[in-house]
Structure 1
């Protein structure tokens, strides 16, 4: 059966008795076993998984004794419950799930969260930044921008006024989970798309419709 996540608290080991407590005076106390170095394993997660939470079943192979002087390999599935809001670098420890070697305490297996890049979203602390491509006419005249969320919803954002390249609009409470019902914010960043070319007629229409801007060097 797969191991449940995470057995992070191990029972304390019994301290070897001191020589004075041994039945035979002067008997040497048993040597304390040394523990192997922890084994780190990357836990790759999408931004959607870190936003909503997910369960990952991770297979690990470990050396185990199969005879008095021989070892073999055993495969085990460890279940990691990824919680909403976790970030890159979060560590999940399964105590003593590493190789079993004679005279050693098995190493811990530590899964380290690795966040996969997202094509449209970037995480900034507890905030999310979504890049929305906006046609030039919509940047000048206004529109309703549809913003897809990481959990499959769609938010309608009213865009009013002239939007400059790289401008942002804030949607409160739509960022990453912070716990206790709190969330960061969603920042929608606009990437204004300019047409590759304009014919003479379109240029004249724009000159007539748009107010002249200040010349270089003028306030």
Structure 2
């Protein structure tokens, strides 16, 4: 018997994505609704088992190590167990404690949930926005309206199980021959077969499509926040209900503001002379141009607060503040004339430009000592 890798037509080092693609390709060819032959049904079961094992990392690891085609750690079959032609312990357990299928199952399945990332800028996070997006997802097939059949046709009762969805199988166990209900291989337990599948969706009842949506993003959202859109995920098979769509928000950086909770923080550089004399600077905010009054004697690190111009609070209402941090800029290139003017200014203030204090443990009252104490 061929290995699971050979069944899917992939190499032993195939990635999870390669295995998924190979399975989909095989499943389209061998699906009982498209190829109702007994040989195709058996091959489809082998392909499904191979995908089940190889798509599960733990089962795949066990399969690679032991060759157990179910990807389980071990069984009671073989030497020293319940071998000799009888089913293993799991078969016995299923025979007596699992009644098996009792009727046809519905083709209808709920669609999967989906997760997408959406970028917004800081201003959109501050005020909220209705954001138009496009989602690549599964939608109900418009040609067959989810039924999966060609126009004018419908699923037909399975001739193998006569609509029961299951068949009786004789199982050999240590207690003798037991009759057990099993899923019908022809219809896969549905009780019906699609002999004329829809040419658009190949019997799935859904197709992939790019769908436009508008997301209402509330004011005050943070980077990484998720929004749940109920029923906007992938459409289910055979007209089943949609899953949910989760939108994860990514807030892009801003050239001026950095967010700190509900506050916005900006760094404002002012010349040394403007900081000493005081000045008024304009700042472009999300609410328009605002005047920032820098009082005389402002030092680097001083904070000027603009109230209620920050981020809208997600809960509780109101807004945070804008905190403007002042950075006093000392000139690095001076002309001789400028140097002389600064010297005259220093002399007029009686300042001594020479550092007279010595860095010493004994000089406990000096500047460096005070700085050291401050940093403790």
TM-score w.r.t. length of structure 2: 0.45
Between the aligned partners of 1:36 and 1:164, the Cα distance in structure 2 is 61
Task: Indicate the SS of the match to 2:331.
Answer: coil
2:231–2:241 Cα contact (<8 Å) kept: yes
Q: CA offset at residue 91 of structure 1?
A: 1.6
Corresponding residue for residue 84 of structure 1: 219
CA deviation after TM superposition for structure 1 residue 44, in Å: 0.9
The runs of 5 or more residues in structure 1 that have no matched partner are 1-26
1:170 aligns with 2:245: no
1:53 aligns with 2:128: yes
Deviation of residue 96 (structure 1)? 3.1
Between Structure 1 and Structure 2, whose CA radius of gyration is higher?
2
**Retained in 2: the 8 A contact 1:148–1:154?**
yes
Q: In structure 2, what is the Cα distance between the partners aligned to 1:111 and 1:214?
A: 62
- 1:97 touches 1:106 (CA, 8 Å); kept in 2? yes
Q: 1:36 to 1:65 in 2, by over 3 A?
A: closer
Structure with the higher fraction of residues in helix conformation: 2
Taking structure 1 as the reference length, the TM-score comes to 0.74
* 3-state DSSP of counterpart to 1:99: coil
Q: How large is the RMSD of aligned CA atoms in angstroms? A: 2.9
CA distance in 2, matches of 1:49, 1:98: 24
- Matches of 2:269 and 2:113 in 1, distance apart? 45
Asked if the contact 1:127–1:185 (Cα under 8 Å) also holds between the matched residues in 2, the reply is yes
Q: 1:138 Cα shift? A: 0.9
Alpha-carbon distance change, 193 to 37 in structure 1, aligned in 2, over 3 angstroms: farther
Q: Which has the higher strand share?
A: 1
Q: State the structure with bigger RCO (CA 8 A, min sep 6), 1 or 2.
A: 1
> Which of 210, 215, 231 pairs up with 1:75?
210
* SS of residue in 2 equivalent to 1:183: coil
User: Secondary structure in 1 aligned to 2:234?
Assistant: coil
Task: Spell out, residue by residue over 1:75-107, the C-alpha distance to the aligned partner (whole angstroms, 9 max, x if none).
Answer: 322211222222212221112322234387643
The separation in 2 between residues aligned to 1:29 and 1:156, in whole angstroms, is 74
Deviations 1:125-181 (A, max 9, x none): 011101222122212221012121113x12112111223333321222221112555
- Structure 2 unaligned residues grouped into runs of 5+: 1-101, 149-202, 360-365, 368-376
In 2, Cα distance between the equivalents of 1:148 and 1:49?
16
- Is 2:113 aligned against 1:38? yes
The equivalent position to 1:182 in structure 2, one of 310, 313, 318, is: 318
C-alpha deviations, 1:41-93, integer Å up to 9, x for none? 11211111112222111111222353521442223222112222222122211
Change in CA separation of 1:214 and 1:113 when aligned onto 2, cut-off 3 Å: farther
The reply on whether 1:144 has 2:219 as its aligned counterpart is: no
Matched, 1:209 2:345: yes
Aligned length: 192
Which of 126, 129, 137 is the matching residue for 1:62? Answer: 137
